[in-house]
Amino acid sequence: MIKVSHEVPFCLLQDSLKFNDYDYCLPHLLDESKKYQEFFIESKKQNRYIVMDNSLHELGTPYSEDRLWYWLNELKPDEFIVPDYWENKTQTLVSAKEWISKKYPSNTTPVAVVQGKSKAEAIECYIILKDMGYKKIAFSYGAEFYGKEFGFLSKFQAKTLGRVKLIHDLYKDGIIKFNDRIHLLGCNLPQEFQWYQGFDFIESIDTSNPIMAALENKLYTAGGLLDKPSANMNTHKDISKSKIHMTILKSNITLFRKINFL
């Protein structure tokens, strides 16, 4: 079964223990917030599964190498997403080669991210990352080339179907094997994941979509959403719980799983 985690504002960290299958950590926030840091230290003590990102999406560039390395050894996450560079295949592969050679905590699996400016670059990146020895590989949600084959749809619909088609094509062509291990980073539209039925190589998903939609008082329908919420962790990490419509939040979290047969 696919494991799901929704990133949440600080005020919902404890609530997230009730609906997240694992805890998804943004390392720059460990240094910014004592509350966030304490949550993940306690999560580790409770033997919860932890995936640590490199904060590229939030910062525009991976978090500093020394702090990533510090938190890797302090938190000892079950998985660590090694530094990647947005739509830059070459820089991502250089980084992946450097990070695969490091000595990790014994329980930590390094995870690399596919990057590129085209479908061809993404395919090449995936193949090289596997050849480097990465046991788990992630696909981002926002590559511009995702939308090129579906230009007649809205931007968010096009990018959603673009990632679906890439993964389907990679599997159909034998590049993704049935025993590969895949993580999906974020999403444009929450209904995307219904299109991966039977793809047991997809192990995990992280997306704040149902949470951020709720912060904008957007209620999921049985078909999901037509637009991606503009709210994100950068802008809403410190929001007060009193400002969150908890009924919408709970409904979105429930519908996310129902829509996607999770």
Sheet strands (E) in 186-250:
202-206
Q: Which region holds residue 77: left if phi is over 0, alpha if psi is between -120 and 50, else beta?
A: beta
Sketch the domain layout of the chain as residue ranges. Answer: 3-208
pLDDT digits (tens, 9 = 90+) for 38-70: 999 999 999 999 999 999 999 999 999 999 999
Given a cut of 90, whether residue 100 has pLDDT beyond it is yes
pLDDT digits (tens, 9 = 90+) for 144-165: 999 998 988 999 999 999 999 9
Q: What is the pLDDT of residue 177?
A: 97
Query: Under CATH, what is the fold of the domain 3-208?
Result: TIM Barrel (3.20.20)
Given a cut of 90, whether residue 178 has pLDDT beyond it is yes
Percentage of the chain beyond pLDDT 90 is: 96
Q: Phi then psi for 242, rounded to 5 degrees?
A: -65, -20
Contacts from 174-178 at CB under 8 Å and sequence distance 24+? 175/123, 175/126, 175/127, 176/126, 176/201, 177/201
End-to-end CA distance of the chain: 7
Whether the CB-CB separation of 132 and 96 falls below 8 Å is answered with yes
Whether the CB-CB separation of 79 and 108 falls below 8 Å is answered with yes
Which runs of consecutive H residues, i.e. helices, occur in 184-262? Answer: 209-215, 233-236, 246-259
- Give the sign of the dihedral formed by CA 60, CA 16, CA 235, CA 45: negative
Q: What is the pLDDT of residue 58?
A: 93
Spatial separation of the C-alpha atoms in residues 206 and 23, rounded to whole Å:
9
Q: Which of 194, 187, 239, 196 is nearest to 214 (CA)?
A: 239
Whether the CB-CB separation of 62 and 83 falls below 8 Å is answered with yes
Q: What is the pLDDT of residue 151?
A: 82
